[in-house]
A and B are shown apart, each in its own frame.
Chain A
Amino acid sequence: MSRINWRGAASVAGFVLLWELLVRFGGGRFEGIPTLAEVLRAFGDKYLTNAQYWQSWIVSFERVGYGFVASQLLGIPLGLLLGTRKIFHEVVYPVVELLRPIPPLAWVPLSILFWPTTELSIIFITFIGPFFIIVINVHDGVRNIRKEHLWLARSLGARPRYIFRRIILPSLIPSIAVGMTLGIAVTWNVVIAAEMIASDVGLGRLTWEGYVSHTATTVIVGMISIGLAGYLSTLAVAYAEKKLMPWRK
């Protein structure tokens, strides 16, 4: 069996075919929807060379970047503290558990009120999604560290600082990797919606404008662009994961 997934290619082709058929013969519902060919053509005409289009890529990526990085920089230490210091855990963890189920987007209005600029409020929303995910993952990761490793180090005379740096941190790399992978997906999801609600630039905004002006082509171009951007980010995180954990198959 060669490397190419023929069956998979077949099902994708089937999907595109279904799309074509639905648009041509699907009736009222699908009237305004363009076919894949039309979308590609529109993309080539209007977007490929449009500076504003690529600008929205940059804007969205920036927001994702800031929000995601901030969430990891703040979330990992918080997770560590929650996992290692008992009293801190007892005081702070209940609050985290309380705030966690609130969907990030529900924070949008408060965020807009709170932050002086729209940009910051969007970045804050982007931050919340992956933040809770990484905190929980790191916290669980610390709890799952095998006690034997810690005892061994201590019986060999290692000092707390050393144990922390050489045993706890490396043991957490898998949990951090999982947290980041989940987080980046959530981040994209959030940034798009936040843009739809509260911004005037970015890929989410582009899609929304397509909707508002009843231009389905724009909507689909927007969706595909967003999907692509999200996919690229996921690849980046997966690459980082592979570098950090070479021992995984």
Chain B
Amino acid sequence: MPNRRFWMMWFGYLGAAGLWYASVKWLPIASFRRLPDPFTVITEWLSPNPKYGISIFTHPYYLHILHSTYRAIAAFLLATLLGVPLGICMGWSRHFHRYATSLLGLLRPVPPLAWVPLAILIFSGTESAVIFVTFLVAFFATTLNTVAGVTSIEPDYFRASACLGASRKDILFDVIIPGAMPNIFTGLQIAMGAAWFSLAAGEMIAAQYGLGFLIMESYNLIQFPTIVIAMATLGIVGFLSSALIRMLGNRLMRWREQSLGFAG
């Protein structure tokens, strides 16, 4: 039975759409008129024979989605495989931490997107360059959150496992990894979101396929409804990937659910 919240939500959506429509059609500002209105966008998106060639029924649409998704996943996996172990080392060993913090602190302020031109020059190809930049963002988010996770573990757990006879390897698997998991997963979600953000930008600046590229291309070809379609798709895919990670985290950390009384 749909309750009040449900109706309010749709009221909100309708209101936003109405605002959009109104600002495009009725506001006396010339530049607003150039924006596409909601109806055009929706009909274009769902049409089997779209005017500008991109809709849920066309092949290129999924091609772009696939390209973007592939890049995002590749970068994300690389970032996780490198970032989590690095974060664990940094969190566990104070010496290692001192080595790494300065280096990371030096590289971190450089906005990832500023790396794009250099990356293209070094990697001599836009594909790797875009993945590299996306990787960088995700990497920092993952590493920092992992470090925070490890350092937040109560020292008593380390002591308990030591007096119960655990070796260093045991401590890694019995205390550090489970203890840091909540923070690691928060980091992964942030990394995924940041990855999409960087990816979109990277694609807009310098790629051949993908949703970011689609946005720029539609702009250049004056196919405005497609711009919005691509934007919306980016939003949806980004949201789904973060949600997937969150769900995975909840399954791996069943013990947390039961103690906190609600899902992650």
Residues of A within 8 A of B (CB): 5, 7-12, 15, 29-30, 32-33, 87, 90-95, 98-110, 112-116, 185, 188-190, 192-193, 196-197, 204, 207-208, 210-211, 214, 216, 219-220, 222-224, 226-228, 230-231, 234
Q: Quick one: given A12-B102, A196-B205, are A32 and B8 in contact (CB under 8 Å)? A: no
Q: Is B157 on the interface with A (CB-CB < 8 A)?
A: no
The 8 nearest A-B residue pairs measured at CB: A8-B102, A211-B117, A90-B8, A109-B219, A227-B110, A189-B111, A231-B109, A91-B12
* Contact A107 B101, beta carbon cutoff 8 Å: no
Q: Is the interface of A mostly helix, strand, loop or mixed?
A: helix
Contact yes or no, B121 A32, CB < 8 A: yes
> Which listed residue (A7, A94, A102) contacts B95, Cβ 8 A?
A7
- Told that A9-B102, A12-B103, A112-B219 touch, could you supply 6 new A-B pairs with CB distance under 8 A? A33-B122, A106-B211, A106-B235, A113-B35, A189-B198, A211-B117
In the complex the two chains form, is A5's CB within 8 Å of B111's CB? Answer: no
Kindly provide the distance from the CB of A213 to the nearest chain B CB, expressed in whole angstroms: 11
In the assembled complex, B248 has its CB within 8 A of some CB on chain A:
no
Which residues of the other chain, B, contact A204 by a CB distance below 8 angstroms?
A: 113-114
Q: Across the two chains, which residue of chain B brings its CB closest to A203?
A: B114
Q: Knowing A102-B232, A109-B227 are in contact, say whether A91-B118 is a contact too (CB < 8 A).
A: no
29 A-B pairs within 8 Å (CB atoms) are namely A5-B102, A7-B99, A8-B102, A11-B100, A12-B106, A32-B121, A90-B5, A91-B15, A95-B15, A101-B235, A101-B236, A102-B231, A103-B200, A103-B212, A106-B212, A109-B215, A109-B219, A110-B227, A114-B31, A116-B30, A185-B111, A193-B205, A196-B117, A196-B205, A216-B118, A222-B114, A223-B118, A226-B110, A230-B111
Query: A231 to chain B: which residues have CB within 8 Å?
Result: 109
Cβ contact within 8 Å between A116 and B110:
no
* Beta-carbon contact of B9 and A91 below 8 Å: yes
Knowing A102-B231, A103-B197, A109-B216 are in contact, say whether A92-B12 is a contact too (CB < 8 A).
yes
* Minimum Cβ distance to chain B for residue A134 (Å): 16
Q: How far is the CB of B233 from chain A (nearest CB, A)?
A: 10
Task: Bin chain B's interface residue count.
Answer: 35 or more
Q: A103-B201, A108-B204, A211-B120 are in contact. Are A227 and B239 (CB under 8 A)?
A: no
The one of A98, A102, A103, A207 in contact with B114, judged by C-beta atoms closer than 8 angstroms, is: A207
Taken together as a complex, chains A and B put the C-alpha atoms of A93 and B8 apart, in Å, by 10
Interface assignment of B139: CB less than 8 Å from any CB of chain A? no
Q: Report the number of A-B residue pairs with Cβ-Cβ less than 8 Å.
A: 181
Knowing A105-B197, A226-B110, the reply to whether A90 touches B238 (Cβ < 8 A) is no
Cα–Cα distance between A99 and B238 once the two chains are bound (Å):
11
The docked-state distance in angstroms from the alpha carbon of A226 to that of B235 is: 28
Q: Is the CB of B117 within 8 A of A8?
A: no
Query: B6-36 vs A: 1/0 string, CB under 8 Å?
Result: 0011011101100000000000011110110
Q: Known interface pairs A29-B122, A102-B231. Does A197 touch B204 (Cβ–Cβ under 8 Å)?
A: yes
Residues of A within 8 A of B116 (CB): 193, 196, 211
The CB with the most chain A CB atoms within 10 A, among B8, B11, B124, is that of: B8
Q: Which of A30, A92, A94 has the most CB of B within 10 A?
A: A94
Please tell me if B59 contacts chain A, counting CB pairs below 8 Å.
no
- Identify A228's interface contact among B9, B109, B199, CB under 8 A: B109
A95 and B113 contacting across the interface, CB-CB below 8 Å:
no
Cα-based distance from A93 to B16 in the complex (angstroms):
11
**Contact indicator B235/A99 (Cβ below 8 Å):** yes
- Determine the chain A residues whose CB is within 8 A of the CB of B235 once the complex forms: 98-102, 106
| Chain B residues whose C-beta falls within 8 Å of the C-beta of A220 in the assembled complex | 118
Partner pick for A113 among B34, B120, B204, B212, CB 8 A cutoff: B34
User: In this complex, what residue of B is CB-closest to A105?
Assistant: B201
Q: Contacts of A9 on B, CB cut-off 8 Å?
A: 102
CB distance from B117 to the nearest CB of A (A): 3
Query: Taking CB as reference atom, which chain B residue is nearest A107?
Result: B231
Task: Using CB atoms, name the residue of chain B closest to A182.
Answer: B190
Please report the C-alpha to C-alpha distance between residue A218 and residue B232 in the assembled complex, in whole angstroms: 36
Contact A103 B121 (CB under 8 A): no
Chain B residues within an 8 Å CB radius of A196: 113, 116-117, 205
Give the distance in Å from the alpha carbon of A92 to the alpha carbon of B201 in the complex: 27
Tell me, rounded to whole Å, the shortest Cβ–Cβ distance linking B101 to chain A: 6
Evaluate contact between A208 and B216: CB separation under 8 angstroms: no
